[in-house]
Amino acid sequence: MTEGLSPRPTYDRIARLYDVDMAANMRFDDVAFYAEVCRAAGRRVLELGCGNGRILLDLIASGIDAVGVDCSQAMLMELSRKAGARALSPQVCLMDARALGFGASFGVVLCPFSLVTYMTTADDLARLTSEAWGVLEPAGIVVLDAFVPQPSVYSDEFRPDYERPYGRGSLCRSKRIRRLSPTINRIERCYEIRGESGALVERIETVEDIHVFAPPELLDVMRDAGFKVESEWWNYAARWPVADGQFYTLIGRRGR
C-alpha cells in the first residue's frame, strides 16, 4: 500500500485557521453525538486526534472525564489557548495515536472526525486499532467514524472551496483531490489570507494523503480488530443509511 504523507505538517501550518476552516465544514452535530455516547458509558474517555479541542473542550465543559492526545504541537497550543479562555484545565498529551503511552484505563476511546482516514498503510491501521484495544478497560467501547466517499470530489485542477470572514479580512481556500490508488487520495490545499482591502497577506499550502473507507470497509476494520460492533450511525443521528449520508460511525465493544 502507498506510504502516505503525514497530516502533522498540515495541522501545524493551519492550527490558527482550524476553527474557520475544517471545523466550520462540519454541518452535523457530531459533538453532541460523542457527548451522549460518553455520558451513557459513564466512564473515562480518551479522544485520539483531539486537535484544538473542538470536541474535547465541550466534553470536559459538560462534566465528562476526558483526556486528549494529538501529534500536532501547534494544534495543542491552540487547544490550551481556547481552554484558558473558557477557564478549563484539560489533560492533553503530545502523542501519536499509533503509539499510546497509557495502560488499560479508559472506558471509551473516540476516533472522531475521520481520524482513521489518516491511517494510510495496513501497519498504521493495525497499530491504531491495537492501541485503542490496549488502552480500553474490559468491555470498553471504541467510536470510529469516517466520511462517506463521494466520487465527485476528484479533480486535476485546483477548485475554489470557500471564502470566509477571518479577522478583519477573509480566508480563501482552494483544493485538488487526486486518486493515487483505489483506496488512497492525495489532498492539496491552498489557503489565502486576505486583508480588509482584499490584498493577499499570506499563502499557505498543504498536502496530505488519506485512506478512503466505504462503510463496509470500516465495518471490516472494526471486526478485524476484534471489536464487537454494537451500533451503526449515519450523519451522527440516523440508525439506517440516509440519502445524504456524509459520515458513517461505528460503536464497537472490546471483549472481556
Span 156-208, pLDDT tens digits: 999 999 999 999 999 999 999 999 999 999 999 999 999 999 999 999 999 99
Quick check: 149 and 5 in contact, CB under 8 A? no
Identify the domain containing residue 82 by its residue range: 8-149+213-253
Asked whether residue 115 falls in the same domain as residue 136, the answer is yes
Bridge partners of residue 67, in order along the sequence: 46, 91
The identity of residue 201, as a single letter, is: V
How many domains are contained in the chain? 2
Asked whether residue 111 falls in the same domain as residue 219, the answer is yes
Span 199-213, pLDDT tens digits: 999 999 999 999 999
Helix (H) or strand (E) holding 205: strand 200-211
pLDDT on residue 152: 80
Cell of 145: 467514524
Helix (H) or strand (E) holding 107: strand 106-111
Asked whether residue 59 falls in the same domain as residue 171, the answer is no
Alpha helices of the chain — where are they, by DSSP H? 8-14, 22-25, 30-41, 56-61, 73-85, 122-135, 215-224
Name every residue whose Cβ is closer than 8 Å to that of residue 34 and which is 6 or more positions away in sequence.
Answer: 55, 59, 110, 112, 143
Span 70-93, pLDDT tens digits: 999 999 999 999 999 999 999 999
Asked whether residue 123 falls in the same domain as residue 241, the answer is yes
Of 68, 75, 61, 69, the closest CA to residue 32 belongs to 61
Answer yes or no: is pLDDT of 2 > 70: no
Asked whether residue 232 falls in the same domain as residue 203, the answer is no
pLDDT on residue 1: 32
pLDDT on residue 255: 86
Task: Give domain status of residue 242, yes or no.
Answer: yes
Bridge partners of residue 47, in order along the sequence: 68, 110
Asked whether residue 128 falls in the same domain as residue 163, the answer is no
Asked whether residue 127 falls in the same domain as residue 244, the answer is yes
Asked whether residue 64 falls in the same domain as residue 156, the answer is no
Answer yes or no: is pLDDT of 24 > 90: yes
Task: Give domain status of residue 3, yes or no.
Answer: no
Mean pLDDT of 46-66: 99
